[in-house]
Structure 1
Amino acid sequence: MSQFIYQQKQAWFSLKQKPSFVASVLITMGTTLGALLCILTLAYILIFKPLPYPEQSKLYTIEHNLIDAESRIDGRAFTYPNLMHLYQNQTVFSDAALLYYDARVLTSKNNQPTLSTTFVTPKWFELLNAKMVIGRSFEVTELMNTFNPVAVLSYDTWQKEFNLDPNILNKKVEFIGISYRIVGVIEKSFIEPQLLAKGLKTQVYLPWDYNSISEQNRKEWGNDDGNLTFIGKLGVNKTVKQINQSLTSLINDNWQKQVSGRKFFKDWSIGIKVHDFKSVILGDSENTIYLLLAGVIGLVLIACSNIANLFISRTAEQQRELAIHASVGATQKKLFYTILSQTGLLMLLSVICALVLANLGFYILQNFLSEQLPRVDELAINVFTLCSAIGCVVLFALFFAYLSSKMINYHALNLALQSSGKGTGIQVSKQTRKTLVITQVAIVTALVFVNIILFKDSIKTINQPSGFNIENMSHLVLGVSPAKKGEQDSRAAALLELRKLLLSQPEIEAVSQSTSPLMRFGTWALMQNVTDKRYTPGGKYIDHEYFKMIEQPLIEGDFFNQGDVQNNNPVMIVNDIFAKQLAPNGSALGMMFNGDMQVIGVVKGVQLPGQSNIRARAYYVTSYAKNMMMLKFKPGQDLSRTQVVALIKEASSQLTLFGYSSLNKSKEKMLFTEYTTAITSASLAILTIFLAAIGLYGILSYSTQMRQFEIGTRLAIGAQRNDLIKMIIKDNAPAILWGFITSFIILLFIFVGLSDVLITYINAQLLSILAITLFLIGFISLFACYWPLRTIINRPAIYALKGSD
């Protein structure tokens, strides 16, 4: 132990003499290892770590497929009556719960925040072991059809909205006229499974009875709703295939009876698929993780190559010190341990820096990528992270020590001690230098090529024309209670009054009582009167101002007029994609659907942000009772949320502000993944090129310095500068070429192994991207060949022959 401590002290004393060397190693390895530990921890949590729920392997959710007559899946969400039939009659799951994801305006608070709400049956808390920090969860008094208005808060909501009020159980929350008594708060450590969408966090849990499904839709067997969710714990010993068959039979047989009189659903069916929790939560993120791992491992390899150059130079500098050790009896093994004590200390310090940077990475992922990657809330330095860190210390310390020790010719050390050190010191073999060059070029070429592809594809998606204009526009969503019979007229009157008040504001240019063009289209069932052919385009409710406001072009026919909206006329407008499906060789104008619904216009199709193609759409006349509006402001003008709330209160007490957002900001949010990919890929490409430039310069500079006497001799006998430049380039060209060839092999394996993911990227443009990549790496390589040589050939030959600076 005393010998070990002595070696560490000596290593520390030696390293203190070279602060620039230490700083270079710590910055390079600390940064790259920090990224590696961050991504490794993320990969461990997503792929290997069990979910934080009891008997998580038995927890399943169900996919409900509505299959049309051509055996195509028309929708993947439950209809309300099918979900209820499943819940009440299934025997596959020992315990089950229903969920409906929604959002509500908290009218009992002065600022009326919009909170994400989930309506659940009591078993939900038990299945996920959702413990309370205070109070209780739902119980038998909150079972289905009990209509007991109680609420459970998330810890975050208790903290942000109620300042951790210890008397919270004596409080109530009010949503759209219903007051719910708070009975519990979920503990802070609970992690909600992200079943509907990544990053979704419920703020308030309410009993299932109060979900916002209308009475009409509770009886509608054909209208699906993506917010309806079923979860259950498997209670039978059956295969997934057997379970799918059993549940499909249960649901489909009953559904066929219920829709037997409806022509639209002739030859349609229901298919059920069960999915374990982990696959649902992970989704398609696994491929993203593998790509991130590949990128960060590539950076680590480049960093290792650069650090190897530093250690090679460091070992060369230490030749006299090592020679003294050898002269007093140090064996080759002891010399290895001497070097290992230095590499180990540096790697330990690097990993400490890496852990700090990894923790920063966790924060960035949790705050900026929670909607793109699942389970990021679980990211923290854990046993796996620490074990990985220790593994990195051991692996890289041994690697750099081995590499440095391989340079040592033990029997030549005494000669080095006796000489002046010129020309007889430690040298790196030509094969080692060639291997380092090949490694650098291969890794950097592959990484830069892939990152340029990702960057170019992201920029293309961000800049693709949408076909509509949303400049100076905002979308307004109003909170309203479900309209009962006879209340539609009063709500319509309140909304018309609000519309009038908004138009009277000097900042506003136009108002459209329509759904935002950025919001998803609902699925509508249409049957053509003449042919009985069935269609399910995306549908949206709009008024007569919508197309003019967003400048969506009319191809033929007419837009809606004010009379269509006032009289709720059965007319619709289709986009050119849907019109082509309806009438491939003619016009869709005048076609009739569902009895009395007539096509009166065709508009140019629009492409929503982040979508790769334009889909079939249909637009229907809105009702004045619809609770969504678009506001177009005059250039440079706007209304604050406070101003909008004041106008809503002035218009009617039955309206509240549910949501108010700029359409441009909404578009940016929809393109967040593309922006993130573009920034990340560009940053990685730049960092990769920077590290490669440093690495290649270090290797080729060392090679040139080793040939300094030879170059000086050539200069002395009359060699021209250009000839010497060509000689150095020619000598290094094979290694660079082999690096390119190796990178092609790496890329080939990547594209073959991930062909299903990367197929969209394979096109003729890859050749231009490849050319750009080869040019960049070739330029860096040529620069690394020329610049170290420049200092030798631009001075008299005598300096090179003397080995003088």
Structure 2
Amino acid sequence: MKTWSKLKTLFRRRKAEAEMSAEIRLHLELQTERNIAAGLDPNEARYAAQRAFGGVEQVKERCREQRSLGWLEYLVRDVRLAARSLRRAPLFSAAVIATLALCIGPNTAILTLLYALVLKPAPFPQPERLVQVYNAFEKLGGERSRQASSVPQYRDFQANADLFEGFAIMRYAGTTLDDETMPQRVMGMRVNAGFFDLLGVRPLLGRFGMPEEDAIGADHVLVLTRTFWESHFNADPNVIGRVVRLGGEPWTIIGVAPRSVEVLDRYTQFFKPFEPLPNEVDPRARYAGRVLVFGRLKPDVTRSAAVAQLRTIDGRYLDEQAAPATRSYFETAGHRVVIESLGAQTADAVSRPLTLLQVGAGFVLLIGVVNVLNLMLARVNAKRPELAIRHALGAGRATLLRQLLAESLLLTAAATVVGAGLAWAAVRVINGYLPMFAGSAAPVQLEPAMVGLAAVVAFALAGVMGVLPFALLWKRGLKLNEIRTASAGAGVRVFGGTLVVAQVAIALLLLVGAGLLGRSLARVLATDPGFETANLVQGRVAVPKPYESPQANVALQRRIVDGLREIPGVEGAALVFDYALSGSFRAQPFVIRGEAAKPGANRPLVAIDPVSPEFFDTLRITLLEGRGFTYADDVRGSAVLVVDDLFAKRYFPGRSAVGREVALSVQPPPDGQPWPRIIGVVRRPQLTGLEGRDGMPIVFVPMVQQPAGGFSFVVRSARDTGDLIAEIRRKLRSIEPTLPLYGTATIDEGLASMMMGRRGMTLLIAAFSGLALMLAGVGLYGVLAYDVSQRTREIGIRGAIGATRGQIVAMVLRQGMVKTALGVGAGLAGAVYLTRFLRGLLFDVERFDPVAFVGVSLLMLAVAALACWLPARRAAKVDPIVALRCE
């Protein structure tokens, strides 16, 4: 019989059985008729036909074997039997499914994040050959001082780096989308014509830019991202050729890019031709760091060989064309050209916290598996009578094991489905917070590969959960004369106790980590921000083209500040180059006049923050010494600085910093040029976040000396935030109708946003720890409750010969608390070693913090005591007469 026919028969069993019975009945009737025709009595004829045919049931069984796929038939039968058996134990089934789902869901979600943000290659052809080119300054903080590339570098590499197939160049280009009702700020990129070819992508609609369009004055053409096309143009297929106004100029849409390019930056909405500016192509701007350069390696070229070639090309420029001062500057700074994979920055930023979360989720999975193992052990021991009877009737070891494996696999399959649903929901929630800790990374989707991996791991564990309890049971033997009175054997009890110890130890590891992170979070939240955060609102505006000149730019700054201060209820207003709160202030080396730097030593860095004169009063930052800025400190004034007290204490201990001269460069200013002078010292404001208390010092410079294409404002007012922002928007439109307002938020919201990464990690670890604690408590309760049920006869005998209820309770409590104490000891020993990986995440807390270690140990013991007391109370209520009568 062919396999396909056998497979079809599997799904039409009733019909096949009916046809087989009808055929056998017809055969017997025909033979009976022939026997009657031969002269036999009808009854004798029927018996003769049956003797000639043979045993009907045996024939049916041989027919079933011929028409069936043996292993598949057994599988279906075992699955049906397992489903019926689990349906009769709904509480057990629900407990196992819930436990495994709560373990599989978080693991799948965190694994998806880890894969998408760290491990997954970029969605371009041969992504391992795509790199980004940077300039690093090893003597200026290494990776912290990494800087983008430039147009001269790009052209030099394009012409001379023959280990690369090609290069592409990109610059971020925020602009204003002119709207009939209100201008909107939109973010985009300027890219050269070969940018998309280098990535290996093709347009979704229309075309990409051409080389002749990469020039100032060329036709204004625009390529949309797919997300922007769908959200702003409703995925209109006829969008090609439409004209939109960006920055007051018409731009013609020529294409739509596929979604894959959005992994470079989730906020990008369009692509313009590159159009290099005159100051960008100047050879002296080679290290201006204004653009990003991408390259594609030729096949079989190693990265070490490629970066060596780029360094040789760059070194040739420094040796042959750069001015001596420039060459000296870069030698002093330890300049190197470096390359890295696309998305390496995001991966570096999130790999450590995500790995830590994955370890936590993995620990929860281990505890869940241990818990389920205990449940399976109890269930298998409870089914001993049934299994023993089946074994006595002829069922072999393989048959009984298949039944238990089928139950385990059914439970795991249901838990995997539920866990995948939980992971999908978790990923959707995490995407809302993704910008807080992963910057411009694209939203994450639940990866089928990760779900598949989780399923494979789950089913592997299902095999363990089915085999181990059965192996322990088989080792004890399945004899009908032993199954009535025997309790769980010593091996089963030792195995269950060992699992409980492991549960407690792993739970304590997570609790210690959560305790340390929780105390760190509390310390961060208790940190004084150094200014009054209440009633402060910040926002950002982009400067239109008519205000790009220094004089017009400064005049616009004054008008905006004066206009904001005119709003009723406003107590103060100021401008700042970046957001008032920012984790990305420009880092700059500096030189103190009269103090020579040590040769070969790393240069210290400071964060540069350009602000308007009203900034310190508006934020109510305390002036400790000297004075703040005035509008006299403009582009024609002398170079002046205001430093925070961290800078003053670190570099001028025990003396005044006011009047000292500091050059914000790796080298002193040339002869004849003035040194910038410190005119004031302020109390350190935590503008880089509450965790930056002891980080990089902040040096404030006058905003009016830093004309910019965009700047932020800070307004102090007790008015309702929504009303105030609406009033600010109206005031800005009255000052300049084309000013787009965006990025509005209160300072308190900004601080909370900067804390989101730490807060989220702490909450997730706390959630994993709480789940682990619950599972460990439930596991301990389950083991003791099962042990009490198995020892009912023993407890009854103890009661009959005089044991008091208190003694019985103490016996059970002692049994559970000894296991807990062993688990706590093992967990503390493991925590002493593993907490060293948390050192970089702790704030004002030592890794051996006694409060965390002692506190979580007491919590674990308290939960264990409750879990032990419930079975102990049940044991104390055992009536000796009833227990012995049942036996």
TM-score (norm 2): 0.80
- 1:192 match: secondary structure: helix
> Any idea what SS the aligned residue of 2:254 has?
strand
- 2:768 aligned with 1:684: yes
Match of 1:501 among 559, 563, 566: 563
The question of 1:647 aligning with 2:728 is answered: no
Q: Which moved further from structure 2: 361-370 or 434-443?
A: 361-370
Q: Say if 2:103 and 2:364, in contact at 8 Å, map to a contact too.
A: yes
Q: 2:692 aligns with which of 605, 611, 614?
A: 611
- Once residues 720 and 176 of structure 2 are traced to their aligned partners in structure 1, the CA distance between those partners, rounded to angstroms, is 30
Specify the alignment match of 1:169 in structure 2: 240
The alignment status of 1:476 with 2:539, answered yes or no, reads yes
1:732–1:67 CA distance, 2 compared to 1 (3 A):
closer
Q: Figure out how many residues of one structure are paired with residues of the other and give that number.
A: 790
Equivalent positions of 1:298-377 (< 5 A) are 298-369=363-434, 372-373=437-438, 377=443
Tell me how far 1:134 sits from its aligned partner. 0.9
1:616 offset after TM fit, Å? Answer: 2.1
Are residues 1:763 and 2:846 paired?
A: yes
Distance 2:847 2:432 in 1: 38
What letter corresponds to residue 200 of structure 2 in structure 1?
N
Instruction: Flag the 1:222–1:560 CA change in 2: closer, same or farther, 3 A.
Output: farther
The residue correspondences of 1:25-424 to structure 2 (distance < 5 A) are: 25-45=96-116, 49-66=120-137, 75-78=145-148, 80=150, 83-84=153-154, 86-87=156-157, 89-91=159-161, 92-108=163-179, 110-143=181-214, 147-188=218-259, 190-194=260-264, 200-209=266-275, 215=279, 221=285, 224-225=288-289, 228-235=291-298, 239-255=302-318, 258-261=322-325, 267-277=332-342, 279-369=344-434, 372-373=437-438, 377=443, 379-383=445-449, 385-386=451-452, 388-404=454-470, 406-408=472-474, 412-415=478-481, 421-423=484-486
Offset, 1:694: 0.6
Q: Deviations over 1:275-309 (max 9, x none)?
A: 23364452243333432332122112211222223
Q: Does 1:590 align with 2:671?
A: no
Is residue 511–residue 631 contact of structure 1 (8 Å, CA) maintained in 2?
A: yes
The letter for the 2-side match of 1:161 is H
Contact (CA 8 Å) 1:81, 1:220: kept in 2 or not?
Answer: no
Inter-partner Cα distance in structure 2 for 1:150 and 1:16:
65
CA shift digits 1:707-727 (9 cap, x unpaired): 333333333444344444443
Q: 1:799 to 1:469 in 2, by over 3 A?
A: farther
Residues in 2 aligned to 1:383 and 1:416: alpha-carbon distance in whole angstroms: 48
Unaligned ranges ≥5, structure 2: 1-71, 598-602, 663-668
Q: Residues 258, 85 of structure 1: CA spacing in aligned structure 2 closer, same or farther, 3 A cutoff?
A: farther
Q: Is the 8 A contact 1:407 1:428 kept in 2?
A: no
Verify: 1:14 aligned to 2:77, yes or no: no
Structure showing greater Rg? 2
Correspondent of 1:672 among 743, 756, 763: 756
1:539 match: 608
SS at match of 1:329: coil
Query: What is the identity, as a one-letter code, of the residue corresponding to 2:480?
Result: N
Query: Helix, strand or coil for the counterpart of 1:230?
Result: strand
Change over 3 Å in CA distance of 1:82–1:716 after alignment to 2? farther
Residues 693/535 of structure 1: CA separation in 2 closer, same or farther (3 Å cut): closer
- How far has the Cα of 1:695 moved from its partner? 0.7
Secondary structure, aligned partner of 1:537: strand
Output the CA distance in 1 between the equivalents of 2:744 and 2:492: 67
Distance verdict in 2 for CA 1:717–1:476, change over 3 Å:
same
Letter in 1 for 2:768: L
| Identity between Structure 1 and Structure 2 (%) | 20
Counterpart Cα distance in 2 of 1:660 and 1:543: 19
| Residue identity in the other structure for 2:147 | A
Three-state SS of the structure 2 residue aligned to 1:513 is: strand
Residue 313 of structure 1: how far off its partner (Å): 3.0
Give the deviation of 1:473 after TM superposition: 1.4
Q: Is the partner of 2:723 in helix, strand or coil?
A: coil
Task: Confirm or deny: 8 A CA contact 1:433 1:703 kept in the other structure.
Answer: no
Structure-2 change in CA distance of 1:318 and 1:74 (3 Å): closer
User: Which stretch of structure 1 is more off in the superposition, 7-16 or 656-665?
Assistant: 656-665
Per-residue CA shift, 1:323-347, capped at 9, x if unaligned? 3323322223322222222222222
> For residue 773 of structure 1, what is the aligned residue in structure 2?
856
Give a deviation string over 1:529-549, Cα, whole Å, max 9, x none.
556779753222222221122
Q: Distance in 2 between matches of 1:574 and 1:142?
A: 46
Q: Residue 212 of structure 2 aligns to a residue in which SS?
A: helix
User: Which moves more between the two structures, 367-376 or 510-519?
Assistant: 367-376
Contact 1:42 1:376 (C-alpha < 8 Å) held by counterparts: no
Q: CA deviation at 1:466?
A: 1.9
Equivalent residue letter for 2:700: Y
The answer as to whether partners of 1:125 and 1:138 remain within 8 angstroms in 2 is no
Once structures 1 and 2 are overlaid, which stretch shifts more, 177-186 or 524-533?
Answer: 524-533
CA distance in structure 2 between the aligned counterparts of 1:380 and 1:72, rounded to whole angstroms: 35
Is the 2:184–2:740 contact (alpha carbons within 8 Å) kept by the matching residues of 1?
A: no
Q: Do the aligned partners of residues 108 and 210 (structure 1) sit closer, same or farther apart at CA in structure 2, a change above 3 Å counting?
A: farther
Change over 3 Å in CA distance of 1:16–1:320 after alignment to 2: same
**Root mean square deviation, CA, Å:** 3.5
Give the equivalent residue in structure 2 for 1:738: 822
Please, which moves more after superposition, 675-684 or 83-92?
83-92
Cα–Cα, structure 1 residues 638 and 380, in superposed 2: closer, same or farther, change >3 Å?
closer
Unaligned segments of structure 1, at least 5 residues: none
Deviation at 1:376, TM superposition (A): 6.5
Q: Which amino acid aligns with 1:479?
A: A
- In structure 2, what is the equivalent of residue 792 of structure 1? 875
Residues 601-626 of structure 1 show CA distances to partners (whole Å, capped at 9, x for unaligned) of 11122332143624222212222966
Task: Give per-residue Cα distances to partners, 1:606-647, cap 9 Å, x unaligned.
Answer: 332143624222212222966432111125455365543332
Q: Secondary structure at the match of 1:349?
A: helix
Equivalent of residue 585 in structure 2, options 521, 527, 542: 521
Shift in Å, 1:49: 4.4
Native 8 Å contact 1:445 1:773 kept in 2 = yes
Matched residues in 1 for 2:495 and 2:333: separation?
68
Post-superposition offset of 1:588: 1.9
* SS in structure 2 at match of 1:574: strand
Whole-angstrom distance in 2 between the partners of 1:795 and 1:700:
15
1:392 to partner: Cα distance: 2.0
User: Contact between 1:365 and 1:376, CA under 8 Å: does it hold in 2?
Assistant: no
1:9-46 deviation digits (Å, cap 9, x = unpaired): 22222222222222222211122122233334444555
Which whole-Å CA distance do the structure 1 matches of 2:351 and 2:335 have between them?
29
Q: Does the aligned pair in 1 maintain the 2:223–2:254 contact within 8 Å?
A: yes
Structure 2 residue identity aligned to 1:481: P
Counterpart of 2:677 in structure 1: which amino acid? Q
Q: Measure the CA separation in 1 of the matches of 2:218 and 2:590.
A: 36
Distance 1:711 1:635 in 2: 72
After superposition, the C-alpha distances for 1:48-107 in whole angstroms (9 at most, x for unaligned) are: 544321121211112202355x89778310364664564454414221011222422212
Greater Cα shift, 606-615 or 148-157: 606-615
> Secondary structure at the residue paired with 1:201?
coil
Contact 2:645 2:682 in 1 (8 A): yes
- Aligned-residue offset at 1:391: 4.7
For residues 226-267 of structure 1, give each alpha carbon's deviation from its aligned partner in whole angstroms, at most 9, with x where no partner exists.
x63111011386554444343234334534754534797784
**Aligned counterpart, 1:510:** 572
Residue identity in the other structure for 1:318: K
Does the residue aligned with 1:506 lie in a helix, a strand or coil?
coil
TM-score (norm 1): 0.88
